[in-house]
Chain A
C-alpha cells in the first residue's frame, strides 16, 4: 500500500527518517534502509538537514525507489530559488517520487557552510502552493505545464512552539496552501500533544507525531536547552538516568515504543514519524516493542 493510501485508509502509518551521508559511501545507509523494508510505510529523506551539506534528497529517494521502498522527498527553501525548486519537483516526479515534505529549512548559520548565501526566495507556505499548482498543471507564474505532477504533499508543525498562536496560524495557512499531511516536531508529552491534536483535528489533514529516539539523559537535557520547540519532561529524563549509561538507549527505545502504543491505542493521531538520528538500526526494535510488527 502506498504511503498516501495507508494514511487515507485510516491505517496507523509509520515513517522513519533517513539522512543521506556526507560523501559518496552509502553502504551503511543502504543497509539500514534495507532493514526497514516492509516494516515502515515510507522513508523520509532529509534535505541537507541542519544546513549541513550532504548527498541531496532526490538522489537517495531514487535509490530507495529502486530498492522497492517508498520515499518522501524533503524539500527546503534554503538552497534553491523558485526556478530550482520547481525544476527539481518536476525532476523528482519523473523519477517516480510521489511524496514531498515542504519546509523552510534551517538557516545556513546552523550548519557547516555558515558563509553560504541563504536563498529563501519562497518559503514553506508558498512552496506548498507551488506543489499544488504543479499538481494542477501550472507553474508559479501560471504557465501551463506539459504534464502535471501528482504529489502527495505535506508540511511540518511544532506542537510545542512558544508562543503557539502564530505557529497554529501558520499551520492553518499550510492547510489552506494544500498540505495533506503533517509531520510534527518531536513530542514527548502525550497529554500536551492531545491538546494540540484537538485543535489540529478540526482540519482535513493527516497528522504524524514526530518522535525522536532518546539515547541518554544527556541528549534529553541537550535538546531541552538547545533545540527550539522540543521539551523532554523531567520524568523521562529521570527514567533514562535510572536505567544507567549502558541501558539508556534500551530505555529510550522503551519510551518511544510506549508512546507509539498510546498514540495508536487511544487513536490520538494518524501515525508516527520516527527519527532515530544515527540509530536507524533500532527502528525495527522500536516497532516490535510498540506492537506494530
Chain B
C-alpha cells in the first residue's frame, strides 16, 4: 500500500489561508490503514478546520481514491456540497490528490498528507518499504528479498565492505540486505544463484512518468 504521513497542520493552514470553505476527500484503502485519511481522520479534520473558523461543506470517503473514474462517480451525490466549497482537501496519497485535481478542473486542491513509499504493514500502523517499483524485478535472483530497496546502495552482487555482524554500515537499525539474502538463499539451497553476477540494472524501466495500458493490447488481439 502507499504509506502516507499527516503534514503539519500549520503548513496546511498556510496553504488554505485564502479560502474559507472546503470539501474533504479521504480514502478507504491505504490512507485509512495509515490513519491519515479514514473516517476518524475526516471527522477530526472537519473539527480542526471549524475551530479555525473555516466551513466544511461535506466529506467523502471514496472506496479507492486513486481510482479516478470510481471516485468521480461516488462524488456525484455530493455535487452540491462540492459546488459550495472554494477548495478541496484530499486526505490520501499524491495519487488520490491528483484524482481530485482531474475531477475538479476549476477548484484548488490541497493535500493534507505527505506520500512516503510503497510499504508493507508489518504490525498495526507500522510500515516497511520492501519494493521501490524499479520496473524490472530481481526478486527471482535474490532469494525473494529486494536489494534495490533493502540495501541503501541498491547493490546487486553481494554485501559491501561496510556490513557488520549483519548490520548495515548506514545505520545499525538496518539489517544488511545482503546478509539476509545470503542467509535465506542458504536455507532455501539457492546459493548457486547467489554466485551469479547480476548485470547493471536497466533503469529505463522505471522512467517517469510511467503509463500502462493493458486494455489496448487485449483489444488489438481481437
| A interface residues with partner B (beta carbon < 8 Å) | 82, 104, 106-107, 109-110, 118, 120-126, 129, 140, 156-158, 161-163, 165-167, 169-170, 172-173, 176-177, 185, 228-229
B146 within 8 A of A: no
Contacts of B169 in A (CB 8 A): 106-107, 110, 228
| B interface residues with partner A (beta carbon < 8 Å) | 152-166, 169-171, 178-179, 181-182, 186, 191, 194-195, 197, 199-201, 203
A117 to chain B, nearest CB (A): 12
Shortest 9 CB-CB distances between A and B: which pairs? A170-B158, A228-B164, A166-B182, A125-B157, A120-B153, A122-B200, A158-B161, A104-B160, A109-B170
Q: A166-B181, A167-B159 are in contact. List 17 more A-B contacts (CB 8 A).
A: A107-B152, A107-B162, A109-B171, A120-B155, A121-B201, A121-B203, A122-B200, A123-B157, A123-B160, A125-B197, A126-B197, A161-B161, A162-B164, A163-B182, A166-B178, A169-B158, A229-B163
Closest chain B residue to A122, Cβ basis: B200
CA distance A162 to B162 in the complex (A): 10
Closest chain B residue to A140, Cβ basis: B200
Contacts of B164 in A (CB 8 A): 162, 228-229
Query: Can you show 13 pairs from A to B with CB atoms below 8 A apart?
Result: A106-B169, A107-B162, A107-B170, A123-B156, A123-B157, A124-B157, A124-B160, A162-B166, A166-B181, A172-B195, A173-B158, A228-B163, A229-B161
Contacts of A124 in B (CB 8 A): 157, 160
CA distance A122 to B148 in the complex (A): 11
Given contacts A82-B200, A109-B171, contact A166 B157 (CB under 8 A): no
Contacts of B179 in A (CB 8 A): 163, 166
Let me know if A176 and B197 touch, CB within 8 A: yes
Closest chain B residue to A157, Cβ basis: B161
Let me know if B194 and A169 touch, CB within 8 A: yes
B97 to chain A, nearest CB (A): 25
CA distance A158 to B178 in the complex (A): 15
Given contacts A107-B169, A170-B157, A173-B195, contact A228 B162 (CB under 8 A): yes
CA distance A118 to B158 in the complex (A): 18
Given contacts A121-B203, A129-B197, A229-B164, contact A104 B182 (CB under 8 A): no
CA distance A166 to B155 in the complex (A): 13
A256 to chain B, nearest CB (A): 21
Residue among A121, A125, A228 with most chain B CB within 10 A: A228
Let me know if A107 and B195 touch, CB within 8 A: no
Let me know if A161 and B152 touch, CB within 8 A: no
Contacts of B181 in A (CB 8 A): 166
CA distance A247 to B132 in the complex (A): 53
Contacts of A157 in B (CB 8 A): 161
Which of B156, B162, B201 has a CB less than 8 Å from the CB of A106?
B162
